[in-house]
Structure 1
Amino acid sequence: MRILLAAALLLTSAPVLAQQSPAKTMTASQDAFLRDYAETRRFMSGRPVNPRITPDEKTVLFLRGQPRAPIQTLFAFDVATGEAKEVLTPEAILKGSEETLTSEEKARRERMRVSARGFTSYQLSEDGERILVPLSGKLYLVERVSGKSTELKTGPGVIDPRFSADGQQVAYVRDNDVFRLEVASNKEHRVTTGGTPAKTHGLAEFVAQEEMSRFSGWWWSPDAKFIAYTESDTGQVEKLSIIDVMHPEKGAEDYSYPRPGKNNAKVRLGITPVTGGKTVWVQWDAEKYPYLATVMWPKKGPLTVLVQNRTQTEEKLLAVDTASGKTKELLTEKDDAWLELEQTFPVWLEDGSGFLWYTERNGGPEVELRNADGSLARSLVKPEAGFRNLARYIEKDRTLYFVGGPNPTESYLWRVKDGGAPEQVRPGTTGEAVEGGSVARSGNLAVISHSSPTSMPRTYVVRGDGSRVGELPSVAVEPGFVPVVEYREVGPLKFHSSLVRPRNAKPGQKLPTIVEVYAGPTVTVVHKSMAAHLLSQWMADQGFLIARFDGRGTPMRGAKWQRAVHLDFSGVTLEDQAAAVQALAAVVPEVDLQRVGIEGWSFGGYMGALAALKRPDVFKAAVAGAPVVDWLDYDTHYTERYLGLPQQHPEAYEKSSLLTYARDTSKPISPLLLIHGTADDNVYFFHTLKLSDALFRAGKYHELLPLSGLTHMVPDPLVTQRQHEWVMNHFKRHLAK
């Protein structure tokens, strides 16, 4: 797909105005920073990603690109020597050929927000002896000891490849069916038959990938004799079309996209012998629980599925009898608003005697130990601990490792022994870092990513006691400055906030303020991280204060706080941003309340447009990137979770729609710039076109910048650079005196 920037800004409902060149409003150093920021992908290219500890705990594998090229290669870090070496490169495999991807793989990477090239993933056999690397629709097997790589003789267009538990087979999806390959003979065998683009076998449907974080549609049995797979029938799902507007002669591509209140894909789970034979279909009440959210097939314990009702207010965890397909209920979770889905759970214990379970039943994220029959054994991580994700559970000493913490602006790697008080794996960094981590099976080795307000992300290998073994090497370009960020809680509700000033700011000098917003469920924007505020500092240095606020509806401040947006996206989300600006001005006199702007992308784009339409008294200029305009046009699993079914709650959709406010001719609008990729298959481009049309008909001036050929991600460096130039030029024209 071609990635081009629209040549001109389209102005509607007003005469064309002379525009100042964005580049000329910046200094040479600001221009150079933005170019570096775009070309290095926010200074993240060249940093280690996807680290994995080998079973013998002697090596840490990882991927790494070049400083200005996101073509990733495979590396190995030696724990004993602290040295890293390159193991395999895409060039060595392709030998000059160009990397190609199927449309299915492109869509899957879009759902996973993967924009890198080369090696984007790899699989390690359970014994750690072999590495499976997909590249350009093909599979390659790497022997770790010898370094020898072998192309596996699969058909083209391989998706989602994985080893069997014994490492003797590899299974994957191609041509809408599941296949397997015997490693010893390098021979491929078909596992399922009859898959079509409208009725796929082994592929996760759109909402599973986009909203459930379930990216797979097939699973090995522990003994490698069976495969469980989804059949996803999209025959009754509405089709939406995307056309390359720069090349209409190529025609349109159709996508199955379920909008609220309309048909979802019909998904069922089958179990089939890997050698072929009759499929046993898993039985549950699919009318009441249509969503197959999670599938786990542990070494010990039953094949386990989690199914949800349409509005996600009730879910059941079921154990499957693989011979008959019949299911037995292990537990049921209910919530009056919605249930949060954590794809990692359940985690079965190695002996099958029980499993770990995630719940918010007691007001916050909690991890429980459940017996094999689903009954509660005890709580392991309490709601006040701030659990975010699981790193490892070590059964022998009943120790659970997790990433999180009670302060949403920070995160660390913690250990909890037998449900006791959490303790940091690396003590002494509380209040100054954002960390993530993974832990080896023994608990004696861990990999921790670390960033702080004054340091870019670095990845350390540490012992179980937190002592450092070494660092996975980076070749990334380092930024030329450290952002100066102020963190505080503001207002009666103690909204977490960050503020970045110009580095040459004069005390007491009033400045326009730009609010960088998301404000939607699942995401916070106030992080104690240098990387998170680099662009903020670049914006600030052009004469602005840059602020961020996490209001109600955002996660990690308890279930009640997050569920404040139930049945209304346009209420507390926006009012909290407006109240936070006022509260910030009360303690930061440099905030000029007469010159406040707001900008965001996706849900943040929705918030930017909502602010321009609903609160122009507070927000005097706005930029809305890829906004959801009418929630009736977004997908089912996300939207219905928060707003319910449109047939049952039409008022929730009416008051949450931007069109409701755009069509009101009695209300003014702040200067609004709309930006949207024309090939977006998540928030379709027609969202912005609908808003533009409604504003035009209501006589409300606005500006529209289409990004030709771009999806919901904007990976092209030139587009990234120009986009941010246009955003800042918009605010300079409307907020600067």
Structure 2
Amino acid sequence: MILAPDPARWDCRFRAAAGMLGGMNRLTPALVLLVAASAVPARPPADPKRDPVDTSFLKRYAETRGFLLGRPVKPKVTPDGKHVLFLRADPATKRQSLFEFELATARTREVLSAETILKGGAEVLTPEEKARRERQRVSAGGFADFHLSPDGALVLVKLGNTLYVLERTTGTVRELKAGGDGPIVDPKFSPDGKFVAFVRGFDVACYDLAADKEFAVTTGGTVAKTHGLAEFVAQEEMGRHSGFWWSPDSKSIAYAEADHTGVEQWWVADPLKPEVPPAPQFYPRPGKKNVTVRLGVKSVAGGDTVWVEWDRAKYEYLAAVRWGTGTAGKAHLLVVIQDRKQQEMVVCAVEPTTGFARRLFADTDPAWTNIPAEVPLLTTSGIIWTGTGPNGPEVQLRNHDTGALVSILVPGTDHVLGVAGKYTSPHGGGRLFLPGHCVSLTAPDPTQQHVRVTPIPLDRSELLKPNFPLAEPWERFTDEPGMHTGAFGEDGQHVITSTTLKQLPRSRVFDAHKKALGELPSVAAEPPFAPNVTVEKVGDFWTAVVRPRDFDATKKYPVVLDVYGGPRHLHVVQAMRNWLVPQWLADQGFVVVAVDNRGTPGRGRDWERAVYQRFGTVPLEDQVKGLHALCDKFPELDRERVGAVGWSFGGYMAANGVLRRPDVFKAAVAGAPVTDWEDYDTHYTERYMGLLPASAAAYREASLLPLADKLDRPLLLVHGTADDNVYYRHTLRLSDALFRAGRRFEALALPGVTHMASADPVVMERLWTRTAGFFRSHLGGPR
């Protein structure tokens, strides 16, 4: 997915804590390229000696990864319900260590650190690990993740290219002996806790903990035909970061074979280091060859792979794989496949011994289907699925054997975002945890996310009871306006992580009866201010307005539109971290505003699908309407002096604004913009734009390149030269088109920077100072 670069404001998604790629070398100062030709003259830049800018906040923001370093992340409740394990970074070293919170005493202790294992040595990340962290937007070094054995007695961690197992009761750390060459990726315990599986190089391998020995599960994997690895678009666009899955009995592994034969190969080079060979990457583009994926099942004891059979010519995408235990303890294997148009998504039941895939049910849409997270979820009562209903996404219970709809657990009118998991409540009733975009059942508010539970049956006989399951009321675990997520134990213990407009994420621990037991301790620095932001619906659009902290209501302020605009993403949310950098920018003499246009989730199917094949027009039209509605409501906003700033899809929107609507936007800073959609990846682009050549007109209409000769407003293009998501090629192509059209613009290259903007405090300071100065020069100050 086209995302923002780092935990700065240009971070576009409220997921887990994100940040710079761990282990990246300190970057050189940004290289500035200025290309000039005839155009409307710009005002001279502000004089920094006469008009100084305080950048200390920007430096501190970058050093602390947006004040997130030192906050607990990835909490997991142990199977016995007595502890919560979590990661927390040391703000000084920027390395994450493992901690344990005891529910009975509310005491926290450090369990394991990278320093303990490395004994002062340096952490070295493989290129494969760096790429994986880039896809997952992982921040600090140290432990990127950890895995609990099924009984909770062991913890699996990875440092560099080595696996370690910690015995929790004794504190003993065991290094798993290397069994071969090649980078280790995606380690995980078997369901019985006797093995650890992972990908080494391009094949799935297993480690027998009792025998203290590694052995191969698959063989013959190559860089072009990988076994057990998720391909690029699966990681970047589909939310699937794994390529292999254990069976419930720990006897077999299902794995994906990704064949890249014929897929276009692109190269990422560092212009400042011409002596370093470029890094290759398979990058499928619209209308061109896709990765060919098939699924195999193989016994860890040996034997041949059983290949799963489906119409792979029609359904190119393997969206999800789920093992589970269904009726009578029988193991089930479900696969979710998608056609290339992404207008049909099919759930199939697979017979692991033969590979026969039987169609159970499907979701279809004339525009596109969305891949739901965490489902299908297998329970003893049936298959839990987030499907498309007449009023939007709904949580469904479906029959194991036929796929037939049994019950609607949560209707689409409840504005549900998705399913987070299940657990057994203290009263014995099965529950689903659902984070949903709603203030209440009757007042949906997509700026918030709340955690609620709803009953599901544990036994099929319960389905025969009258009015099941809606006779039992659902419960909401959170009420305070903000963004809330949850991590839940098997017996109802849970951790709720919350952020509001006045507070950065904090994680509170509760028992099964919702009694508060304490808070996972943070050692993070706190921001020096709370944003002066208001979030409200204005006209048809949810909006945010950030005013200077020394706001003077008698003055007119230039406006900076902080834009994203892409589909399936909520930009305007009640989360403090989203508005810290905009507050600094506002304090330089602007009012910063944001608008969520059509295409965003939580407001019905038609609202979301309105952007289909209309990237260049609908989002921009809505941004202009929302902006004008704000200017009509708030007289301090000067509609004659409006700029736009954004990254990734937001960079595309900012550039699109000055090219198509120079009457509205007087200046723009476009970071890592997609400038032509034929140069972005297949799964994201074709989902919203259709297939080539049939949809060529939509691609031409959305491209910025044909608009180059229309530029008559100041435009600053910013792009990292090492970006392997939105390639630097995008900015170079637009720069070339603008230059050849004789238009004046500025281009700022960030050497060595990926799609996540640099965490280097110097670069952070200079980039945002440059942005503020650019808007000062072209929009002026308060009047």
Q: TM-score, normalised by structure 1?
A: 0.96
Structure 2 residue aligned with 1:321, among 351, 357, 371? 351
Match of 2:746 in 1: 703
* CA deviation after TM superposition for structure 1 residue 13, in Å: 2.3
Match of 1:471 in 2: 519
Q: How does 1:47-196 map to 2 (within 5 A)?
A: 47-154=71-178, 155=180, 157-196=183-222
Please tell me the residue identity of whatever aligns with 2:429.
D
Corresponding position: 1:44 with 2:68:
yes
Structure 2 residue aligned with 1:400, among 432, 435, 443? 432
Match of 1:369 in 2: 397
Secondary structure of 1:515's counterpart equals: strand
Match of 1:354 in 2: 382
In structure 2, C-alpha distance between the alignment counterparts of 1:312 and 1:42, rounded to whole Å = 36
Please tell me the residue identity of whatever aligns with 1:650.
A
Corresponding position: 1:548 with 2:594:
yes
Please tell me the residue identity of whatever aligns with 2:334.
T
The change in CA–CA distance for 1:111 and 1:211 in structure 2 (over 3 A counts) is same
Match of 2:696 in 1: 650
Structure 2 residue aligned with 1:722, among 741, 763, 766? 766
Structure 2 residue aligned with 1:10, among 15, 29, 33? 33
**Retained in 1: the 8 A contact 2:76–2:488?**
no
- Number of residue pairs aligned between Structure 1 and Structure 2: 725
**Retained in 2: the 8 A contact 1:3–1:709?**
no
Q: How does 1:393-432 map to 2 (within 5 A)?
A: 393-394=422-423, 396-404=428-436, 405=438, 406-418=444-456, 419-420=469-470, 423-426=474-477, 428-429=479-480, 432=481
Match of 1:438 in 2: 487
* CA deviation after TM superposition for structure 1 residue 595, in Å: 0.6
The change in CA–CA distance for 1:322 and 1:129 in structure 2 (over 3 A counts) is same
In structure 2, C-alpha distance between the alignment counterparts of 1:458 and 1:219, rounded to whole Å = 32
In structure 1, C-alpha distance between the alignment counterparts of 2:454 and 2:36, rounded to whole Å = 60
Please tell me the residue identity of whatever aligns with 1:13.
A
**Retained in 2: the 8 A contact 1:170–1:181?**
yes
**Retained in 2: the 8 A contact 1:23–1:725?**
no
In structure 2, C-alpha distance between the alignment counterparts of 1:69 and 1:574, rounded to whole Å = 42
* CA deviation after TM superposition for structure 1 residue 553, in Å: 1.0
**Which runs of 5 or more residues in structure 1 are unaligned?**
none
In structure 1, C-alpha distance between the alignment counterparts of 2:390 and 2:765, rounded to whole Å = 46
**Retained in 1: the 8 A contact 2:45–2:774?**
no
In structure 2, C-alpha distance between the alignment counterparts of 1:69 and 1:12, rounded to whole Å = 40
Match of 2:9 in 1: none
In structure 1, C-alpha distance between the alignment counterparts of 2:322 and 2:99, rounded to whole Å = 30
In structure 2, C-alpha distance between the alignment counterparts of 1:634 and 1:521, rounded to whole Å = 15
Corresponding position: 1:274 with 2:318:
no
* CA deviation after TM superposition for structure 1 residue 23, in Å: 8.9
Please tell me the residue identity of whatever aligns with 1:169.
F
* CA deviation after TM superposition for structure 1 residue 384, in Å: 2.2
Q: How does 1:331-350 map to 2 (within 5 A)?
A: 331-349=361-379
**Retained in 2: the 8 A contact 1:115–1:715?**
no
Question: Identity over the aligned pairs, expressed in percent?
Answer: 47
In structure 2, C-alpha distance between the alignment counterparts of 1:23 and 1:178, rounded to whole Å = 60
* CA deviation after TM superposition for structure 1 residue 597, in Å: 0.6
**Retained in 2: the 8 A contact 1:45–1:69?**
no
Match of 2:650 in 1: 604
* CA deviation after TM superposition for structure 1 residue 417, in Å: 2.7
Secondary structure of 1:248's counterpart equals: coil
**Retained in 1: the 8 A contact 2:542–2:572?**
yes
Secondary structure of 1:565's counterpart equals: coil
Please tell me the residue identity of whatever aligns with 2:310.
W
* CA deviation after TM superposition for structure 1 residue 22, in Å: 6.1
Alignment deviations for residues 6-55 of structure 1 (CA, whole Å, 9 cap, x no partner): 4442111249997557697444xx42211111110111111000000001
In structure 2, C-alpha distance between the alignment counterparts of 1:23 and 1:188, rounded to whole Å = 64
**Retained in 2: the 8 A contact 1:40–1:69?**
no
In structure 2, C-alpha distance between the alignment counterparts of 1:703 and 1:620, rounded to whole Å = 15
The change in CA–CA distance for 1:277 and 1:427 in structure 2 (over 3 A counts) is closer
Match of 2:20 in 1: none
In structure 2, C-alpha distance between the alignment counterparts of 1:96 and 1:69, rounded to whole Å = 12
In structure 1, C-alpha distance between the alignment counterparts of 2:251 and 2:479, rounded to whole Å = 49
* CA deviation after TM superposition for structure 1 residue 398, in Å: 3.6
Match of 1:676 in 2: 719
**Retained in 1: the 8 A contact 2:386–2:418?**
no
Alignment deviations for residues 511-540 of structure 1 (CA, whole Å, 9 cap, x no partner): 001011101012111111222111111111
Alignment deviations for residues 59-93 of structure 1 (CA, whole Å, 9 cap, x no partner): 00000002244210000001011011000010111
Stretch moving more, 225-234 or 44-53: 225-234
Alignment deviations for residues 444-469 of structure 1 (CA, whole Å, 9 cap, x no partner): x1100111111121110013443311
* CA deviation after TM superposition for structure 1 residue 247, in Å: 0.5
**Retained in 1: the 8 A contact 2:72–2:507?**
yes
- What is the aligned-residue RMSD (CA, Å)? 1.8
Match of 1:35 in 2: 59
* CA deviation after TM superposition for structure 1 residue 720, in Å: 2.1
Please tell me the residue identity of whatever aligns with 1:344.
E
Match of 1:311 in 2: 341
Stretch moving more, 401-410 or 573-582: 401-410
**Retained in 1: the 8 A contact 2:266–2:282?**
yes
The change in CA–CA distance for 1:144 and 1:501 in structure 2 (over 3 A counts) is same
**Which runs of 5 or more residues in structure 2 are unaligned?**
1-23, 439-443, 457-468
Corresponding position: 1:733 with 2:761:
no
Alignment deviations for residues 396-435 of structure 1 (CA, whole Å, 9 cap, x no partner): 4142211122311111111223553865544542xx2221
